[in-house]
Chains A and B, each alone.
Chain A
């Protein structure tokens, strides 16, 4: 589903964010990307979304070399990738329903698709009774559920989550992880960048550890760190 071949990313002033990264993530996998701040996790996600170009190497998403993708096709790449962030990125002047519907609306989906699919997905994330609430009326965990619903409503092949539990307390984080696990079991490839060692240790999934832009560990059923 995702493959990187000798990918390096060097920012100006020769800051090396990624250094010769070779990864292969299969369809339906659940992968943690761990490592300290500045180890290259976020750069990885930006490269997969083609928000930036690698300095060297090639990236394949869903079988396509995204380096060869012309600019006008990038939106269609992104329709296959759902994204979730630490800060939720919800629109404060829209309700839960409207926030999720927005993701379908702006890719031109017809009204009847929106009407049927949005309530369905909001039910899936467990917020069926909060369709008409605004984000500021929700807890952090609930807001993150809305953002997951928005990322997933178009049934993407891949879900990228950048520190999705970074702003949440441990119990809420566990609930979010259960939700991501459920989405993964439906068949979605999930890639999650995180600092949260408790979660990584509890989930026992594949762990890729980055350090200063290099892959220093790639382990099936791993834990956060050797020493942790």
Chain B
């Protein structure tokens, strides 16, 4: 029966081109491993943004010579703005308390700073963090303001770095995918070449194109899937061996855990299948005519 036929043809093909098939599978593995890595970095950044954005504030640092009425005026202004979710005044003493907490394990720094040297500030949480510029523009020119800092801008610089890293990994992954496609295509072509006599007879006795091509496509897809499977296993090993030991040691990293790794499985399998099907078709383009 037909399924039997495809199964047999596919595996005899894989056996015949063992070494080339191995090269194709390893390249697919590297490509999909990198792609999975890029996906995970992306998810990590996404999680980081999600968790920090809720806590970002706009800090309006006040000049030391601000008068009580000016300060009250600013507070009123901020409280009246519809974009402001929470407005909290942080006095010099409170700022010092926070400073001590942040640099708790760098005592010499804390000893060299007095409450007086830290500026008082309004800590403003916006309903929509994107609206920073609006607030900044409205407060511009008000007396008593030293400067206005959007914490998001600081974070954005961090995200920009990770973005470059991600794009880099992604680009390498794409190049490796193209290489994998060429290698899978090559094994398909070799399999077709080895069976050209059979193919000639099949065409002669009226086998449909699909019937002729399917075993070769399946062969390529199995190579792609093996590569994808190895990449998934590789990512799990990476997570257990290198990422998990970092947990709790480096600030808020890593945010991602098993669910994030699991979520890369489906995309990697899909990309593996797509790449190998495409490779199979390109390789057989010359054999498509009847």
Contacts and interface: CB of A to CB of B under 8 A. Distances in A.
Interface of A: 49-51, 71-72, 74-80, 83, 89, 91, 102-103, 105-108, 110-111, 150-151, 154
Contact of A108 (B198, B204, B209, B211): B211
Contacts of B206: 75-80, 107, 154
Contacts of B101: none
B198 A78 contact: no
Interface string B194-212: 0001101111111111011
Contacts of B201: 89, 91, 102-103
Given A89-B197, A107-B207, 12 more contacts: A75-B206, A75-B207, A76-B206, A79-B205, A91-B197, A91-B198, A102-B205, A106-B5, A107-B206, A107-B208, A108-B211, A151-B205
Interface residues of B, number: 18
B204 A83 contact: yes
A78 B2 contact: no
Contacts of B211: 106-108
Contacts of B200: 89
B203 A111 contact: no
A13 B140 CA distance: 83
Please report whether the interface of chain B is mostly helix, strand, loop or mixed according to DSSP: helix
Contacts of B203: 75, 78
Contacts of A89: 197, 200-201, 204
Given A89-B201, A102-B201, A72 B208 contact: yes
Nearest to A50: B290
Contacts of A91: 197-198, 201
B1 interface: yes
B1 A75 contact: no
B38 to A, nearest CB: 40
A108 B207 CA distance: 8
Contacts of B212: 106
A-B residue pairs, 9 tightest by C-beta:
A79-B206, A78-B206, A106-B207, A103-B205, A75-B206, A74-B290, A75-B208, A106-B202, A108-B2
Nearest to A112: B1
A154 B1 CA distance: 16
Nearest to B1: A111
